[in-house]
Structure 1
Amino acid sequence: MTEVVQLPLAHRRGHQAQERATKLRAGVVGLGKQALEDHIPGLLSSDGAELVAICDSAGDVVREQQFRLGVPGYTDAEAMFMAEELDLVVVCVPHSEGRRIVELAASSGIHVLKEKPFATTVTEARELVERCEKAGIHLMVTLQRRFNPIYTSFTQLADQIGTPFMVDAAYTLHIADPSEGWRGRTEQAGGGCIIDMGYHLVDMLLWYFGLPDRVLADMSMSARPDRNYDAEDTALIHFSYDSGLYGSLLLSRFIGPKSEQIRLIGNKGIVHLERGRIRRLSNDGQVVESLSREQAWPSAAVSQINHFCRVIEGMRENVSGPSENLAHLAFIQSCYESARSRAHVNPKELL
C-alpha cells in the first residue's frame, strides 16, 4: 500500500512562510546522496523553484527527510504526482527506474530535471524523446559543468592553440567496494563507470568536439576479484574523428585519488582543464594564462535549477534536452559494443 506521510499543517506553513508564491512548485523523487547533497540544497536556495514534496521507496528515509524539510513525503511517485500540483520534478533514481518515473511525470504534464544518464540505451532514449515531445514537457539532464564558467571558457582558449590533434581525458575516483549498492549491478545501473560517472566527461567531449567517428573500448570488472559485481569499474576508451583529431578517455571507480581533467594538444599550445581551473600552456609546458574559480556550495546546483526554471518559462535554451542526449547514448552504447566485439564502432551509425 502506498504510504503518504503528511506533516501537521502548521509545521508545513512554518517552514514555507517565507517562500514566494511565484516560484515553480518542485518535487524530488529519489532521496539518495545526490538529491540530499546537491538537488535539495539547490532547490532550497533557488530563486525560481520551491521544494513542496519528496518521494522515495524507503519509508524510513521519507519520514526522516519530510520532517527535516517541512514538506509532505510519499513512497510512490505516481501518488505524489496525483496529489501535488507540481510544475517540475527532480528525478534521482537508479538508472533502471528512470524511464518509468519520466513517463509518469510526462503523463501528468510535469517538467523533469533528470539526474544523468538520460536513458540506458539509444532505443530507450529515442522513445523518451518522443514521449516528452508528445506530452509537451521540458526535460533537462543534470550536467552541472555546462553552468560553470571554467568549462565554458574551454573553446575560447582552444581557439588559441592552433590545430588540435590529440585529446587526453580522465575521470577517476576510489570506491573501496565497487559491488556495493545498485551501481555494481548492470541490471539496475545499465553499466558501470562509463554510463554513470563517465556521463559527465562524455558530455564534455561531445560539447567540445562532437560525436567521434570511431570508438574502441576496453573495460574491466576485476578491481576487486573478491567481490561479485558485473558493472565495469574501469574503462579505457580510444576515439577518433575523420578530421584527424584523436584521443583517449580513462574512467574508473577504483583508481584514486579523485581527479578530473581534459587536455587538448594543438600545434601551438595546450589547453588543460581541471575541476576548478583551466590553463593555456605552451607546447613545452609553460603557463601562458590561467583561470580558476572558487564557488560557494551549492552554487552549481542552484545555477542548474534556476536555468531549468527559465527554460520552462521560455527564457532560456535547453542545453541538455532529450534530443541532445541521443548522441551521449550513442557514444556510451558504442563503448559497450566495442568492448564486447573487440572492434571499432562508429557511434553515428547507432543514430
Structure 2
Amino acid sequence: MAKLRIGVIGAGSIAQHRHLPEYATNQLAEIVAVCDINQERAAEVAEKYGAKAYTDYQELLKSGEVDAVSVCTPNYLHAPISIAALEAGLHVLCEKPMATSKAEAESMIAAAEKNGKKLMIAHNQRFVPSHQKARQLIASGDLGKIYSFRTAFGHGGPEGWSVEGKEGWFFQKEKAFVGAMGDLGVHKTDLIRYLLGEEITEVGAFVQTSAKDFATVDDNAVCVLKTESGIIGTLAASWAYNGREDNSTIIYGEKGTLRLEDDPNYSLVALYSTGEVVNYQLGKIQSNDEGGQKNSHVIEKFVDCVINNEAPPVSGEEGMKSLSVILAALESNESKRITEV
C-alpha cells in the first residue's frame, strides 16, 4: 500500500518534538516536505528526515508531492494555510487553537467540506489513557450525577522549549492572538467537553499578563465554566507555574471523585463515597518533562482517518466548539461579565 505523503508546514518546537518524530515512526506515512520561513531551519530539519525543504508554503501546496499537511505555524496563520491546503486538495492536521476567530474556523470547516478533505485539530488530551477511562466511567454513571470539576494546565512558559525562546511568536499578540489561554486553556476546554460529553454554555474569566513582562499576550487565566446541564467548574491556564507542570483534572460526582493526572504514581484515582479507592496505572500523560507519554496519538489517528476514509476523531467542528469557549473567556475578561458561548 502506498504511504501517505506528508508535508509539515512550520518547523518549530511542536513540529520537531511531536509531529515529525511521530510521522517518522508511522509505518503508513512518509515525510516528503518540510516548510519554514527560516531557510536554515527548513533545510536542517528536512535533511534530518530525508525530505525536501521549502520556505514558501504555497510552493509546497502546488508541488503535487504531498497528500496531507501538518500546520504547525504561529496561530494567526492556522486558518489561511489550512484553507489554502484544503483548496489544493490536501488533508489537514492543524495545531490548536485552530483559528483566531469563529469566522476563520467556519471558513476552514467549509473548505474541508467543499473539497471533500479531512480537517483534524491536534487536541491530544482526548487520547490520554486516563482521560479516556474517566470519560467511560462518567458516561456509564459510575459517579452518578456530576456536580463540579476543576482542571488546570500550567508550566513555566514556552520560552523554555520554543526554538526562539523569549523572542518567539508565542508572546506576540499579532502572531499568537492569545497566550496561555490559547496555548493551554484550549486543551482543557476541549478535555472538559470530551469528559463530560456536553457543551460549555457560559464563561466568566480573568485573563491577564502578570509573569512575563516581555509578552503582549496573557500568561495567567482563571475561568469559571458552566455546562448545558448546569455543571459548574474552574479552568486555570498558566505560563507561570514554575517548578513543576500541572496538567491535572478533578471531577466531583454524586458517588465519588475522579482525580486525573494528579497523583505521582497513578494517572487516574477514583475515590468513592463508600470509602473504596481504585488506582489506575495507565501510563503518564505526555508532557515536556521526561517520563511522559512519548506518543500523543494525534498523528496516528490523523493518518488512520485519511487512509481508512473515516471521520477525524477531533473534527473542525469540535475544534471550533473548544475555540468558542476561549473567545468567550476573552470577551468575559474585557466586559467583566459572564459571557454566553
Q: How does 1:1-351 map to 2 (within 5 A)?
A: 22-158=2-138, 159-175=141-157, 180-209=167-196, 210-224=198-212, 227-241=213-227, 243-256=229-242, 257-274=244-261, 277-283=267-273, 287-293=277-283, 299-301=294-296, 303-347=297-341
Instruction: Compute the displacement of 1:80 (Å).
Output: 1.3
Larger Rg: 1
| Kept after mapping to 1: 8 A contact 2:7/2:31 | yes
| TM-score w.r.t. length of structure 2 | 0.88
CA 1:179–1:236 in structure 2 vs 1: closer, same or farther (change >3 Å)? farther
CA distance in 2, matches of 1:328, 1:220: 20
Q: Secondary structure at the match of 1:320?
A: coil
Instruction: Compute the displacement of 1:315 (Å).
Output: 4.8
CA distance in 2, matches of 1:200, 1:215: 16
Instruction: Compute the displacement of 1:221 (Å).
Output: 0.8
Q: Secondary structure at the match of 2:259?
A: strand
| TM-score w.r.t. length of structure 1 | 0.86
Instruction: Compute the displacement of 1:55 (Å).
Output: 0.6
CA distance in 1, matches of 2:30, 2:184: 28
Moved over 6 A (4+): 295-298
Deviations 1:164-186 (A, max 9, x none): 21101111101386964111122
CA distance in 1, matches of 2:94, 2:25: 19
CA distance in 2, matches of 1:265, 1:212: 17
Of 292-301 and 273-282, more deviation after overlay is shown by 292-301
Structure 2 unaligned blocks of 5 or more: 160-164
Equivalent position of 2:162 in the other structure: none
Structure 1 unaligned blocks of 5 or more: 1-20
| Amino acid across the alignment from 2:225 | F
Instruction: Compute the displacement of 1:304 (Å).
Output: 2.4
- Quote the sequence identity (%): 28
CA 1:285–1:192 in structure 2 vs 1: closer, same or farther (change >3 Å)? farther
CA distance in 2, matches of 1:81, 1:104: 8
Q: Secondary structure at the match of 1:328?
A: helix
CA distance in 1, matches of 2:220, 2:94: 25
| Kept after mapping to 1: 8 A contact 2:250/2:258 | yes
Instruction: Compute the displacement of 1:162 (Å).
Output: 2.1
Instruction: Compute the displacement of 1:242 (Å).
Output: 5.1
Pairs aligned (count): 324
CA distance in 2, matches of 1:81, 1:175: 32
CA 1:186–1:74 in structure 2 vs 1: closer, same or farther (change >3 Å)? same
Instruction: Compute the displacement of 1:102 (Å).
Output: 0.9
| Amino acid across the alignment from 1:249 | L
| Kept after mapping to 2: 8 A contact 1:277/1:292 | yes
Instruction: Compute the displacement of 1:299 (Å).
Output: 4.7
| Kept after mapping to 2: 8 A contact 1:307/1:316 | no
What is the alpha-carbon root mean square deviation over aligned residues?
Answer: 2.2
Of 275-284 and 164-173, more deviation after overlay is shown by 275-284
Deviations 1:279-306 (A, max 9, x none): 10134986333233159987524x3223
Of 210-219 and 333-342, more deviation after overlay is shown by 210-219
Q: Secondary structure at the match of 1:202?
A: helix
Deviations 1:224-256 (A, max 9, x none): 4xx232211000000123533110011101122
| Amino acid across the alignment from 2:24 | L
CA distance in 1, matches of 2:230, 2:252: 12
Q: Secondary structure at the match of 1:57?
A: coil
Q: Secondary structure at the match of 2:216?
A: coil
Deviations 1:76-128 (A, max 9, x none): 01111222421111110000111221122112101011111111111111121
Q: Secondary structure at the match of 2:204?
A: strand
